[in-house]
C-alpha cells in the first residue's frame, strides 16, 4: 500500500518556524509517511495530499502573512482533508507549561477550515535573527531558542498515528 502523503507547510520570517516544520516532516517520514515540507508561499495546490499541517510564526498576535495567504488560497481543498495547524511562538517556556490558545485570527481559521487541532510551540529569537526589533529584544535578555524537539516530535507522531489509523467501520444502515 502506498504511504499517506502529507504536506507540512510553514510561514516563517526568520527560519524558526521552518525548523519546526522540518522536524515534523522528519518525524512523519521516520514513521513511514511520505511527508513533503514546503514554504507556505509555494503551496498552490494541496489536492494531492492525504493530510496537511500548516504552521505560522506569530508576529504581534498574527500569523505570518504567507501562512495566512496559503490558508486563504487553498481553503476549499483544506476543508476537505485532515488538517492540523500550529503557531510558533512564545520566546519563553510558556508553551511547555500550559496549552496556549490560538491567536484570534488563527482560531477563526481553525473553525473555517475545520482543522482537527492547533498547537502552539515555543519559538526562537537569537543573535542570528535579523531585524532591529529582534536584536533589541535579544540584547535586553528576551531572546532564546524555545523550540522543543521532543514536543514537536510527539505531536508529529500523533498526526502520523491519526492519518494511518484505519477508517472506522460505516454505521449499519437503519432498517
Ligand X SMILES: Cc1cc2nc3c(=O)[nH]c(=O)nc-3n(C[C@H](O)[C@H](O)[C@H](O)COP(=O)(O)O)c2cc1C
Site residues, ligand X (CB under 6 A): 12-18, 57-61, 88-91, 123-125, 133-134
Cβ at position 16, least distance to ligand X in Å: 3
Cβ at position 71, least distance to ligand X in Å: 16
Q: Are 150 and 96 in contact (CB under 8 A)?
A: no
DSSP label of 42: G
For 5, residues 6+ apart whose C-beta sits below 8 A from its C-beta are 33, 34, 35, 36, 48, 49, 50, 51
Cβ nearer to ligand X, comparing 60 with 167 = 60
The Cβ-side half-sphere exposure at 128, using a 13 Å CA radius, reads 6
Cβ at position 152, least distance to ligand X in Å: 12
The Cβ-side half-sphere exposure at 35, using a 13 Å CA radius, reads 25
Cβ at position 90, least distance to ligand X in Å: 4
Position of minimal CB gap to ligand X = 123
Cβ nearer to ligand X, comparing 48 with 130 = 130
Cβ nearer to ligand X, comparing 6 with 16 = 16
The Cβ-side half-sphere exposure at 123, using a 13 Å CA radius, reads 29
Cβ nearer to ligand X, comparing 23 with 31 = 23
Cβ nearer to ligand X, comparing 53 with 57 = 57
For 73, residues 6+ apart whose C-beta sits below 8 A from its C-beta are 43, 44
CA angle, 87 as apex, 151 and 165 as ends, to 5°? 55
Cβ at position 3, least distance to ligand X in Å: 28
Amino acid at each position: 500500500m502506498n504511504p499517506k502523503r502529507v504536506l507540512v507547510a510553514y510561514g516563517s520570517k526568520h527560519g524558526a518556524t521552518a525548523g519546526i516544520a522540518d522536524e515534523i516532516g522528519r518525524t512523519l517520514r521516520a514513521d513511514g509517511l511520505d511527508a513533503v515540507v514546503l514554504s507556505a508561499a509555494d503551496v498552490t495546490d494541496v489536492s494531492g495530499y492525504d493530510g496537511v499541517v500548516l504552521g505560522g510564526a506569530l508576529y504581534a498576535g498574527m500569523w505570518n502573512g504567507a501562512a495566512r495567504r496559503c490558508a486563504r488560497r487553498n481553503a476549499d481543498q483544506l476543508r476537505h482533508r485532515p488538517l492540523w495547524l500550529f503557531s510558533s511562538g512564545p520566546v519563553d517556556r510558556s508553551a511547555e507549561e500550559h496549552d496556549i490558545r490560538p491567536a484570534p485570527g488563527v482560531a477563526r481559521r481553525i473553525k473555517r477550515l475545520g482543522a482537527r487541532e492547533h498547537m502552539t510551540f515555543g519559538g526562537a529569537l537569537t543573535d542570528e535573527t535579523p531585524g532591529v526589533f529582534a536584536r533589541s529584544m535579544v540584547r535586553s535578555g528576551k531572546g532564546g531558542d524555545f523550540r522543543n524537539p521532543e514536543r514537536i516530535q510527539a505531536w508529529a507522531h500523533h498526526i502520523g498515528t491519526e492519518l494511518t489509523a484505519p477508517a472506522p467501520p460505516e454505521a449499519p444502515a437503519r432498517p
